[in-house]
Amino acid sequence: MSATEERQRNDGGHAALMDGVYRWQRHVYDATRKYYLLGRDRMIAGLVVPPGGTVLELGCGTGRNLVLAARRYPDSRLHGLDISAAMLATADATLSRQALRDRVALARADATRFDARALFGEAAFDRIFVSYALSMIPGWELAIDAALDALSPGGSLHVVDFGQQERLPAWFAAALRGWLARFHVSPRSGLLAEIAARAEAAGRPTRFTPLHGGYAWLIVVGPRSGSARPRRD
Ligand SMILES: C[S@@+](CC[C@H](N)C(=O)[O-])C[C@H]1O[C@@H](n2cnc3c(N)ncnc32)[C@H](O)[C@@H]1O
């Protein structure tokens, strides 16, 4: 984390920055992002939430993913947190419109340091997912730590985000990065290594799937070894 990022994170500047970025964009966010936040639906399909299972999204934004997860896993209990009050206002309105508001708990919190019990009354979740948020979070490694801490022993963590465009032309990767920087988005070169190291320390396996030539990376951290496998009925 750069010194500027660290200062922003500590003085609440990052929350204000995110509110500023999304104050107007949130109104066109879902319509525009579907063309370039690739892999989100595949990640949701891979959650395979057990009946009655608990799910948490870190950096839930407009609630788009929570709506899809709620429909796909009708018995699940969903939770979303985000640092931006503006994004949460949109998520609240979207979930209400879809008659899903009573199934999804929302909270304003920093993904790098949240207390799930205080926010949601839940100590651990069966599934936690992070979709295109780690590339916007200063101190994103801390969010991985926090997610693993909040995961039940038999639970899994699912991450989808920009990859390193490793099989795409260099000019495309450079243009994409320049454009993303305008939105305060930085693809994390250490994303897989940092997640895999932490997962291994926690006795959990990691599965890595690069998508579209490395445009996006899908990373799944599985249940702790020795814990009962999650039910798949
Ligand atoms: C690119 S959007 C992704 C939203 C959603 N996950 C999706 O896939 O459409 C990134 C989200 O992360 C949130 N965010 C950024 N930093 C955060 C932090 N430290 N803690 C929680 N949320 C954060 C932003 O406010 C924004 O809503």
193 phi/psi in degrees, rounded to 5:
-60, -45
Q: Take atom 26 of ligand 1 and give the residue whose Cα is closest.
A: 61
Judging by DSSP bridges, how do beta strands 216-221 and 206-211 pair with one another?
A: antiparallel
Summarize pLDDT for 84-137 with one digit per residue, the tens.
999 999 999 999 999 999 999 999 999 999 999 999 999 999 999 999 999 999
pLDDT band at residue 229 under the 50/70/90 scheme: low
Q: What is the spatial distance between Cα 159 and Cα 219, in angstroms, rounded to a whole number?
A: 5
Q: How far is the CA of 226 from the centre of ligand 1 (A)?
A: 33
Helix crossing, 13-25 with 85-97: angle to 10°?
Answer: 50
Report the alpha-carbon distance of residue 181 to residue 109 in Å, rounded: 24
Instruction: Identify the residue whose C-alpha is closest to ligand 1 atom 12.
Output: 59
DSSP H helical ranges for 39-159: 40-45, 64-72, 85-97, 116-120, 140-149
pTM above 0.85, yes or no: yes
Ligand 1 mean position, distance from CA 231 (Å): 29
Task: Return d(Cα 46, Cα 28) in angstroms, integer.
Answer: 27
Reported as type and span, the H/E element at residue 59 is none
